Structure 1
Amino acid sequence: MWRRNLLARIAISRDLCAREPVIRSPFVDRWKKPFSTSSEEQEAATEAFVSRPTKGLVYGRLNQLGKNTLKTDIIHFFDGCNLTLSDIRFDYNRSYNPLGAVLQFPSKGPFDAAVKLLIRKGRLYRLEKADRSQWDLLTSYDGKTVLIQGVPRNASFDDVERVLSGCNFDSSSIQMFVRPGFPDSVRMALVQFPTRLEAMNAFLTKNRSFCLNNPISMRVLQ
């Protein structure tokens, strides 16, 4: 008797389980969705990434510079190309004559604008594409260093200081050296100044003066 009752209860519970609705969690359905979008959406995203304009510094080498060309001359020539004094580095030879200058543009747009300006203004300079390594190799004197040429061989550091009397300069920065010249080699000196203004003031007031009765010439290095 008790066995028949037990079998009846088991049958009833199985029937109720079969009729009970299954409740599915919405979180299960969410995680079952694929992560990738449709093929059309993927292609559109890829195309947008490829066509996105790349931003970054662009370098150009400017040739055919004059010996007395200044950074400000280049900035004024390329007006509207977003160049600043810190975006220009001159390339000098061993005698400190400019071979050219490397320009750092904020992006490709200003570089292209500079090329168009050269064409419109008659190609006074020659601008060609450069890379970052050319920029890194150059020293920027930043208009604060003055080159003195024609220093007598027997001149001392004190003699150079006397030439610059009345100017504000760093006396510990004076360097003297000899470079080949024609018909004789030339002795030179480099002197650093605190600001561009003081370096230019020394050039304007002391250029073509004398050191131990020898005429000297001066130039502000960029």
Structure 2
Amino acid sequence: MFAPITISVFFVALAGFMQAQAPLPSQAEGKLPTPQAEVALAQPPAPSVAKAHDDSFVIGNDDVLAINVWKEPDISRAIPVRSDGRISLPLVGEVQATGRTPLQLEQEITSKLKNYISEPVVTVMVQQINSEKFNILGQVVKPGSYPLINGTTVLDAIATAGGFRDFAKQKSIYVLRQSGGTDSRIAFNYKDVIKGQHPEQNIKLEPRDTIVVP
């Protein structure tokens, strides 16, 4: 007969042996961890850099830019482009923004920050477009110049301007468009469009279009 202490030692040893033989989760599925996977697990995740902006868009005065410098909250901010076309950032100083794409501005800010930060990661996105505008004149409640939002149509513009005044000639509206140094005139019959006739007249506006409501 075994002594009680001898039996206890036997079961402790048996439990350790069974635990050592238990397969890893990846082994249980018939897969062994690759060296690449082990390296990936050992390294911290890389920063996610957003590139949602359109690199063909040209920044203009009054546009609001969202500038993010990874791990630098004191520099990251939303900032409007001044009337002189420039912005100012800590460590960077004055930078020309108007006339450049967000990607070009990213590159200059990154270049300037390299004097102070090792491998800066900079993202510039247009948060609000105020430089692209359309005009609406004549017999509307609120004539003037308005920011052009992507997809704005003639009907949208009329609604933005508060609708028509009492004596507006709703069948004789037209859009003046600058193209290639010349002005073209595009007719818009409000009465027809709202009846579902000639929907092609309800065009999407382009920057500097002027809607005239006689």
TM-score range, shorter chain: under 0.3
Larger of the two Rg values belongs to structure: 1
The TM-score with structure 2 as length reference comes to 0.26
Structure richer in helix, relative to its length? 1
